[in-house]
Structure 1
C-alpha cells in the first residue's frame, strides 16, 4: 500500500485562508529561479506551496538506496509504491521526508540529480505522483484557498485548469551559474562547466521524454529571468495574480 502523506502548514491552518484564489502552476527547467520564486509567491499570498520535483527526487533517492537500477522501470515502480514520502506545503518551512528522515538536502546531491530524469520518465511512477499531487492541490484549496505548484508538467498535466500558468526560462549559462552558486552555498562541490553540461543533459532528457515532456502550456505566461532578479520576477507575477482576479482583496472590489 502506498503511504503518501502531507505535512500540514500549521501556521496557515491557524489563520485560515490566504489571499490566493486557486492554483498558480509554475513550470520551467532547472536554474530559472523557479523554486525561490514559487516559495516567495506562495508566502506573499499566504498560500500553500508544492515542489513536485522534490517528490521525484525523493523517490529517486529511495530507488538508489534500494540498490535498484533507475532504468529498471518495474523495480523503480515497486520502490515508488512502497515509499513512505512526506512532502511539506508550507513555503516558509518546505520539508521532504522519507519515513521520519529529513532528506531535503540529500535529494539535491549529484547522485540523485544524475538519476532523477530516468526515474521521472517511468510512466506509472508519473501516474502515481500526479495523482498524489492533485490530491495535495485539492487539500490546499480547501484549507488555504490556493496553492503555488512548481515543476515541469504542472500547467500541461498536473493542473491544466490552473488560473495562472507561468513558464520561467533563462539562458543555459545563467542557469548553470545560479546552480553552481547554490551548490556552493549549500556545501556541495561543483563547477560551472560541469553544471552547464548537466543542465543541458537534463533539458534534453526532460524535453524529449515520451510522457509529460517539459514544455510551456499554450496559455502560459513566459518570463525570461536571465536578466531579472527574484524581486523583479515576484513583483511581475503578483501583478498578474491581481489582474486575473486571483487575489482575494482584488476580487472583493
Structure 2
C-alpha cells in the first residue's frame, strides 16, 4: 500500500492514479469522499459550519466511489456526481465539512474497509488524501508527502478549472489554496501534516512522469511492484 498525502495542487490525484496503474494496484481518492458528503450537505440545505447538522446528514448519506485508477466514479444516491463534486461551491465548503469529527470518524472507517477489500482482492492500493499516513493507514509500507510552492499549486488549480470549463483566475486560485491550507492544517481532528516516516517530495519543478518514476523506484525498493509493473520498470 502507498499512502499519498499533501495539500491541494501538488498533483496527488494524477500521481496517485498513474502510480496505481503502474503498480497494478487499486486506487482510492479519499478527498472525493469528503466532497460527496459536502455535496449532500449543500443539497440538503445544511450549513457546513453547523457540525451537528453536518454529522446527521453525513450519517444518512448513501454514496459510492470507484477504486479503479482508470475511471473515476463517484455516486450520490445512485446519481453520478463525479463532475459535480469538483465545483467551486464544493471547494469553498469542503474544509468545514471535513473538519467535523463525526464526519472524519465515519469516513475513515469506510476508507479502512475499502482499503482492506481492495488489498484482499487486488493485492495493492494507492490511497491519496490528507491524513492517510497519519490516521487512515499509519502502518502503510510507503508513505509519501507531496508538496509544491503555493504559487505553483494555484497555477495548477487554475488550469484544472479552466480545462473543466469553470471560471477562474490566478489570484482567486491562490487565495483558495492559501485558505484551504490554513483550514486543513489547523483543524483539531486529523490536521494536514506529514507522517514522521513519510518521504517528502517537492513537485514544484517536476513533471508528472518524473514524480511517477521516483515513486515507482521507491515502491520497487520496498518490494511493492507486481510482476507486470516490474517488467515495465526495467
* Aligned residue in 2 for 1:82: 60
- Normalised by the length of structure 1, the TM-score is 0.89
* Aligned residue in 2 for 1:101: 79
More divergent stretch after superposition (240-249 vs 211-220): 240-249
| Residue number among 121, 132, 141 corresponding to 1:143 in the alignment | 121
* Aligned residue in 2 for 1:66: 44
- Normalised by the length of structure 2, the TM-score is 0.96
Question: Deviation at 1:117?
Answer: 0.5
Q: Is 2:24–2:226's contact at 8 Å kept on the other side of the alignment?
A: no
1:202 and 2:180 aligned: yes
Q: Is 2:66–2:74's contact at 8 Å kept on the other side of the alignment?
A: yes
Misfit runs of 4+, over 6 Å: none
Counterpart Cα distance in 1 of 2:158 and 2:36: 21
| Residue number among 48, 60, 68 corresponding to 2:26 in the alignment | 48
Counterpart Cα distance in 1 of 2:67 and 2:171: 34
Over the aligned positions, Cα root-mean-square deviation in angstroms equals 0.8
Unaligned stretches of 5+ residues in structure 1:
1-22
* Aligned residue in 1 for 2:206: 228
1:1-253 paired onto structure 2 within 5 Å: 23-249=1-227
Question: Deviation at 1:71?
Answer: 1.0
Q: SS at the partner of 2:65?
A: strand
Question: Deviation at 1:246?
Answer: 1.5
Q: How many residues were matched structurally? A: 228
Query: What are the Cα deviations for residues 187-246 of structure 1, in whole angstroms up to 9, with x where unaligned?
Result: 111101000000000000000100000000000000000000000000000000001111
